[in-house]
Structure 1
Amino acid sequence: MPETSGLLPVYSLLIFPFAAFLLLWLSGRRFNAVAGWVGASITLVGLLLLLLQPSPEVVQVLDYPWLRIGDRVIALTLRFDSLGYLMLVVVHFVALLVQVYSTSYLKQDPHLHRYFAFIQLFLFSMLGIVLSGNLLLMYIFWELVGLSSYLLIGFWYQKPKPVWAAQKAFVLNRIGDAAFLTGILLLIYYTGSTDLDSLTYSVATIPPAMMTVIGICLFGGCMGKSAQFPLSGWLPDAMEGPTPVSALIHAATMVAAGIFLLARIVFLLTPDAQLFIVIIGSITMVIGAVQAMFAWDIKRVLAFSTMSQLGLMVAAVGLGSWQMAIFHLVTHAFFKAGLFLSAGSVIHAMHADAPFDPQDMRNMGGLRRKLPITFICYTLCAASLAGLPFFSGFLSKDAIITEGFLNASNLGQIGILFPVLILMAAGLTAFYMFRQVWLVFFGKPRYEASAHPHESSMAMWLPMVLLTVLSFFWWFSLHPFDAGHGWFLKYLGLTDSVHLAWVPWVASSVSALALLMGYLQTVKTNPFGLRHKDDKGLQWPSWLRDYSETAYFIKPFETVFIMAAACERRIIDGLVNLLSKATVVGAHLIAWWDRLIVDGLVHMLAGGLRQLGNGVRSLQNGKIQSYFLVTATGMVLLLLWLFLVL
């Protein structure tokens, strides 16, 4: 059972960023000059508080009874444990470097106070997710993260594209969040609690089929936040926000929240739910890698790469090893944040007066001499992403591939397919990262003469260097080809991991073959299709393309909506229109029957009686001859009646 002690870190870690958000938001533009350093300082205080924590392995829990429904008490719980401690350190560290970087990258922006206030709000929301001890409280912070990301992606609201991208991210995430909330409500219905500790004991009371449904619903939250197919369409377009925001949200925090959620609820996942998860993760991993091979925007390549790597982490959870997923989450946080910040350095250096796209890699080339520090950082972080030996990315990918082959039999006959797909995606990653590094830093300069590339300031390249240094293997294991005996996996509680000696060699061979294919492209007359300037990249079939330039929703959902609209227009509206027309025709027929038949009979009877009355009245005219005629006629009729009857 968890222990309750030392609650000051739990309180303060949430109080600091929220107080910073209020301070920076209310201070206004007059605070622009120091807003970044104030935000970075407060984040540094939180990081130091974590690093000075004497015993992070001690579980600290704070329960607050929130409401009572019948006999059930719904509590909001804060939880501080070893997994949360690791995530808190990563989030604080990356957020600190991003804010330092932003002080230089966005120093000319007139709304810096608002930018750093949104970062603090985002940090507060992300810390809330990590510190949540039950799923209900996590959902509350989950929605705050969605709001914060909406504000940061759409920070440049004067431009239409960032606003559109922010709206798209917000809408698509709500779809996944609806599934997440459904899973939470089902847990409350069946167990009366969403507390993570309580669920470990009460989960056995839920029927297995319903447990699978609940697990898939909870995974829906991950599909939205961690950009899994088919809810991955928001991530590439979110690159419309400031580049440091991309490094913060899409490398180490928001997209990592889904993986962290899976690590927290792994005991709720049945084998069927795990199979569903590994299938979705594998689809996302392959699609993201293929799309990255054909993109020309430097940030969009990294966004597709993030999709692919998140799919790899999700697949790791589905394969039965959340520890390996967290391992890759941490290594990915460092080298991907380094790549985004380095990409920002390139974009910052490429800005010129001439109207050309500074993010299009076809407008770059030969920048390694102009940007030596950026070139080194970018290349080393790319090598880690590509899974080359002696880098952290190699260790974490190798660990996931190993677990895939070890656990393949648990997934049935198709189980062996998933580690093979991971190997293939690793090869594609090596290819598209070689392509990107060559297009940006090698070959002849292709940028406009008005551009004068130059190295970034120290406030920008120092965070890049720190993240690059953390992309090497020795921070996680002293053995460059085996992470199983390193401190990191032992910290996560994995003490009996198995190492397959042939996996590193196979993975290295696949990456080497991909690099060779990339090099062979560079010696062609038209390497990577550079001369086709009007090429917009790979055009997916309309039913598979996962983002749209004109709609918020991904193509599969858009197709469903189009079909639903056609069904409503042609079938539902058609039935309604047919019913209304039939009703009108029926009403006319009833009116005709009422007017001609019903009213006609009434009028005929009334007219006949009126005519008969007039006739009888005409005989009462005071003339004696008329009375004789009536008497004679009556006598004749009487005699006739007697004759006929008798």
Structure 2
Amino acid sequence: MERTVWWLVVIPLAPLLAALLNFLFGKWWIRQRAHWLAVPAVALSFLVSLLAAAPVLGGHETLRQPLYTWIAAGDFHVPVELVVDELTAVMLLVVTGVSLLVHIYSIGYMQHDPAYYRFIAWLPLFVFSMVMLVLASNFLVLFVFWEAVGLCSYLLIGFWFRRRSAAEAAKKAFVVNRIGDFGFALGVMLIFTTLGTLDYEAVFRAIPELSSGTVTAIALLLFTGAVGKSAQLPLFVWLPDAMEGPTPVSALIHAATMVTAGIFMVARAHPIFLAAPTAMWVVATIGALTAFVAATIATTQFDIKRVIAYSTVSQLGYMAMALGVGAWIPAIFHLFTHAFFKALLFLGSGSVMHALHDELDMRRMGGLKRWMPLTYWTFVTGAAANAGIVPLAGFWSKDEILVGAWVGGAPLLALLGLVAAFFTSLYMFRAVFLTFHGEPRFDPHELHPHDPPATMAVPLVVLAVGALLAGFAGVPPENGWIHHALEPVFEAVEHHTVPLGITVGFAVISTIVALGGLWVAYAAYVSGSIAPARVAERLGWLYRLAANGWYFDVLYQRFIVRPLEAFAEWLWRTVDVGIIDGAVNGLARAVAALAQLWRRLQTGLVANYALVIALATVILVGVSLVMGSTLFR
């Protein structure tokens, strides 16, 4: 059942107004009080999202609000219309809910920054862009705000732009995402040229009329955009570097919201992917490889934020794998639970940095448990949820993905997911033990760690509760509240019947795997029965492979970046300087030389001028006589 309402526009409008006011008046009048506009605006957006989600998730209604017609050219119309169905409702709650907590956290974390007003302008601008992306009813509006969230990501990663590393990270994120977005744009263009429309419902109805090759091409091009935005292999390299931005940015954009836009887009376009089995196989394979590769890299990192960043890449890989094997609802379920525990982990790492004067190296931490009990217990909750420890949120959603891969005909991917789950538990509890356990590896007389103020502590506690309880939205497995809520969106999807034995078996196996990773981390970093340095030495090139990010950045620098820079320099010297500048400058030199020749006629002597006049007169008279005389005819 569909219903037209007038109030959906409040969801994106409130953060947009806050962003505009803070940007226009923040520097001169609002300054450090910018959150008094942004926090209530995002809170209002969250409350209206709850108001919209209630009838949609509870009564399976679809809410619409037409705003205006953006493009009207003959039979082609692109309306800007806000639509809330079950998938949109879940995303709205995630985006606005986590955004509200991050805005509150930022009051304590960022308020002393001189450019605080600018930070609190970009944050709600991102919320506006992400909300509009989710609410879009057609591919063109989706693409516009897909680019808008990329712009906001660039602005927030490079917030401290005077720091070279932050500026470089922002540019890297922007350029790498443009590669994926180019493919996404081609996919949208291909949809329009083949179907003549970009409206979701019209496109999905017309998909059966297209050839399998065309549908596969559209699906793969759309997924290219998701590879960039959701940091999948091989375009994941921008996300770890994006940790140069402030920690609240990492929690909001690079954990819970923007990076899940690609997952949301594939789920939204699921009728296209269902008609393209080859594309589904590609999505599942890339997702599984991403989950595994990123997990191995995270195990070798010492920067606490980079560990969590690679963890984000890995968990996004799980979501993509789920989409590829047809486990659509488990993918969105994991997106939902991941938002809680990953935002919690980032904000927890921010609390540690806040206490240690922006220290990131876990080798210079240790023993923080005694000084920061609230941060410790909330961080442990997030780490356990990420590791899939029963009964926390990550256990339920990740387990469904592994079961979905197994019954979906991809047992090898399920096994690869289990291996990645072991590394997930290992690197998460490695981070816990290195940061909070043991003796302090810093001078307690110089640094005085402490738990954060209330504005930072309250979001940590709320997210920890979410990491504890969000998983029960999917209990019992395959038949929980979230499954029934999302079922109408994926009603055309073939649902596999999962025997109880497989569900229980995977639950037991994944629990053993997660506990195994915990034990190895404890043995290496608490009891000392395993020597990490000796293990790294024995692993040799395998450890170096993981520690260097599987050399993706090195390969890109050597075979793409440097050749392109050399080619650009050649173009500059040969074409720009040699041809274009040469032609312009050559013409200028020719004119100057000719002017110098004419200049010699200007001697300044009256006698010379009189002689020239006389000679010219004689010549003119002679020519006239010759031309007018009959003598020469």
Q: Could you tell me the TM-score, scaled by structure 1's length?
A: 0.80
Contact 1:367/1:440, CA 8 A, preserved across alignment: yes
Q: Secondary structure at the match of 1:545?
A: helix
Partner residue in 2 for 1:288: 294
Partner residue in 2 for 1:346: 352
Q: Which has the higher helix share?
A: 2
- Structure 1 distance, partners of 2:117, 2:480, is 42
Contact 1:7/1:60, CA 8 A, preserved across alignment: no
Q: Secondary structure at the match of 2:4?
A: coil
- Structure 1 distance, partners of 2:426, 2:220, is 33
- Structure 1 distance, partners of 2:471, 2:431, is 26
1:332 aligned onto 2:338:
yes
1:180 aligned onto 2:180:
no
- Structure 1 distance, partners of 2:519, 2:343, is 26
Identify which of 299, 303, 306 aligns with 1:297.
Answer: 303
Offset at residue 193 of structure 1 (A): 1.0
1:323 aligned onto 2:324:
no
Instruction: Report 1:595-610 matches (<5 A).
Output: none
Partner residue in 2 for 1:452: 448
One-letter code of the match for 1:55?
P
Instruction: Report 1:157-172 matches (<5 A).
Output: 157-172=161-176
Offset at residue 375 of structure 1 (A): 0.3
1:397 aligned onto 2:398:
yes
Offset at residue 546 of structure 1 (A): 3.0
Partner residue in 1 for 2:197: 193
1:466 aligned onto 2:462:
yes
Offset at residue 60 of structure 1 (A): 2.6
Partner residue in 2 for 1:48: 47
Contact 2:49/2:96, CA 8 A, preserved across alignment: no
1:23 aligned onto 2:21:
yes
- Structure 1 distance, partners of 2:549, 2:4, is 54
Contact 1:97/1:463, CA 8 A, preserved across alignment: yes
- Structure 1 distance, partners of 2:559, 2:546, is 14
Offset at residue 529 of structure 1 (A): 3.6
Contact 2:299/2:307, CA 8 A, preserved across alignment: yes
Q: Secondary structure at the match of 1:55?
A: helix
Partner residue in 1 for 2:621: none
**Count of aligned pairs:** 548
Partner residue in 1 for 2:607: none
1:548-594 Cα shifts (integer Å, max 9, x gaps): 6xxxxxx3475245567889999xx99xxxxxxxxxxxxxxxxxxxx
Identify which of 432, 435, 440 aligns with 1:440.
Answer: 435
Partner residue in 2 for 1:597: none
Offset at residue 540 of structure 1 (A): 5.4
Partner residue in 1 for 2:230: 226
One-letter code of the match for 1:505?
V
What do you get for the CA RMSD once the two structures are aligned? 2.6
Offset at residue 200 of structure 1 (A): 1.7
- Structure 2 distance, partners of 1:172, 1:88, is 27
The 10-residue stretch of structure 1 (445-454 or 257-266) with the greater mean CA deviation from structure 2: 445-454
1:445-491 Cα shifts (integer Å, max 9, x gaps): 10134211111111111100100011124663485xx4323212211
**CA 1:543–1:297 in 2, change beyond 3 Å: closer, same or farther?**
closer
1:519 aligned onto 2:522:
yes
Contact 2:372/2:449, CA 8 A, preserved across alignment: yes
Q: Which has the larger radius of gyration?
A: 1
Offset at residue 62 of structure 1 (A): 4.4
Contact 1:391/1:472, CA 8 A, preserved across alignment: yes
Instruction: Report 1:72-83 matches (<5 A).
Output: 72-83=76-87
Contact 2:400/2:477, CA 8 A, preserved across alignment: yes
Contact 2:334/2:397, CA 8 A, preserved across alignment: yes
Offset at residue 68 of structure 1 (A): 4.3
**CA 1:392–1:562 in 2, change beyond 3 Å: closer, same or farther?**
same
- Structure 1 distance, partners of 2:191, 2:557, is 28
1:132 aligned onto 2:136:
yes
Offset at residue 252 of structure 1 (A): 1.1
1:80-104 Cα shifts (integer Å, max 9, x gaps): 2121111111111111110111100
Contact 1:129/1:142, CA 8 A, preserved across alignment: yes
Contact 2:523/2:529, CA 8 A, preserved across alignment: no
**CA 1:144–1:558 in 2, change beyond 3 Å: closer, same or farther?**
farther
Q: Secondary structure at the match of 1:156?
A: coil
Partner residue in 2 for 1:416: 411
Offset at residue 336 of structure 1 (A): 0.4
Offset at residue 76 of structure 1 (A): 3.7
Offset at residue 120 of structure 1 (A): 0.9
Offset at residue 542 of structure 1 (A): 8.3
1:198-217 Cα shifts (integer Å, max 9, x gaps): 11211112210111111000
Offset at residue 515 of structure 1 (A): 1.7
Q: Secondary structure at the match of 1:424?
A: helix
1:52-87 Cα shifts (integer Å, max 9, x gaps): 335223213345443345543344443221211111
Offset at residue 541 of structure 1 (A): 9.7
- Structure 1 distance, partners of 2:568, 2:69, is 46
Q: Could you tell me the TM-score, scaled by structure 2's length?
A: 0.82
Contact 2:363/2:441, CA 8 A, preserved across alignment: yes
Contact 1:367/1:445, CA 8 A, preserved across alignment: yes
Contact 1:543/1:559, CA 8 A, preserved across alignment: no
One-letter code of the match for 2:559?
T
1:168-210 Cα shifts (integer Å, max 9, x gaps): 1001011100000000000001001111111121111221011
1:87 aligned onto 2:91:
yes
Contact 1:36/1:112, CA 8 A, preserved across alignment: no
1:129-177 Cα shifts (integer Å, max 9, x gaps): 1000111100000111011011111111111111111111001011100
1:114 aligned onto 2:114:
no
**CA 1:218–1:519 in 2, change beyond 3 Å: closer, same or farther?**
same
- Structure 2 distance, partners of 1:47, 1:254, is 17
1:275 aligned onto 2:281:
yes
Partner residue in 2 for 1:372: 373
1:509 aligned onto 2:512:
yes
- Structure 1 distance, partners of 2:349, 2:569, is 47
Instruction: Report 1:554-569 matches (<5 A).
Output: 555-556=555-556, 558-560=558-560
Contact 1:476/1:483, CA 8 A, preserved across alignment: no
1:401-420 Cα shifts (integer Å, max 9, x gaps): 11111101xxxxxx221000
Q: Which runs of 5+ in 2 are unaligned?
A: 537-542, 575-633
